[in-house]
Amino acid sequence: MKRAVRLVFNVAVLVFIISVLLLLNITAPNPTQLRYSKQLPLTTGLGSGKAIGDSAEVILSADLRLPNNNAPDQLQCLCKNMSSANGKTCNLCLPVNDLQSEFRIPDFIALDFMAESKNTQNLLYTGREYDQISDYALAAKLLNRPLWVYIRVNTTVEPDFYEIVHSTGGDVVPYFTVPGYVDPVDDAARKAAATSALIVIGLVWMERRSRQQISPPTKPSEPIDTTTQKLTHAEDFAARAKDRLQTKTDKEDAWNDL
């Protein structure tokens, strides 16, 4: 295989491997390591907004491999002061003095990050989400734990939310899939995998064809002369018959001498 062809072959193989890794959806730079959720959360109907929010928290808990901090046996709170915690609300209080609320309960608290699920259509300046995310970001910086906010892939987000969350070292992640969603990275990876696979197959076929053409032709076998073969067989038969006759004659002469 020529050097240029070999280079194209190696690049095509590399592109194919990278495309397959991207299609596995396991290389994203966030704590789940996924670009998008494996399941669809609720987005409409079926009860209150709490049910919609809970459905996303269940999915994120599985993808993060962490218990939901809202569960009764968890409840790690961010507290404005220690008196804000009580046995009925918080099992553990992490002090954050400048909170806008007496206490906050993030959806997920790990040793090295904090995470919040927002299964909503919009994240706007108005509403409780802005104050809530601001408090989480404040606590994340004090605790030296990046804040990750997971939203729908089509959620409208005000720019300030990105600035607030980025200040902690985390990010706002368009994560929860919705019906009909096609991940653009997956779409590009499928096309790249198909193209690179065709290139590899084509180059291998061309290389084999080239080797077959270069290999020396096989020397054709000489045709068998059937006439000569028949004469040879006849001569051999006559010689064997003559030998048998001579042997018989020698034996008869030997008996006569006796």
Q: How does pLDDT run across 212-250, given as a tens digit for each residue?
A: 877 666 666 555 555 666 566 666 666 766 666 666 666
pLDDT of residue 74: 93
Which 3 state secondary structure label does DSSP give 167? coil
Global pTM reads 0.77
Rg of the Cα trace of the chain?
41
**Nearest alpha-carbon partner for 70 in 117, 119, 128:** 117
Q: What is the per-residue pLDDT across 130-169, written as a single tens digit (0 to 9) for each?
A: 999 999 999 999 999 999 999 999 999 999 999 999 999 9
Q: Tell me the two tokens of residue 65.
A: 């491999």
Report the range out of 70-79, 81-90, 142-151, 224-233 with the highest average pLDDT.
142-151
The pLDDT-based confidence of 60 (bands split at 50, 70, 90) is very high
Q: Span 76-80, mean pLDDT?
A: 91
pLDDT of residue 125: 84
What Cα–Cα distance (Å) separates residue 48 from each residue in 52, 53, 194? 7, 9, 44
In the predicted model, is pLDDT for residue 13 greater than 90?
yes
In the predicted model, is pLDDT for residue 58 greater than 80?
yes
pLDDT of residue 109: 96
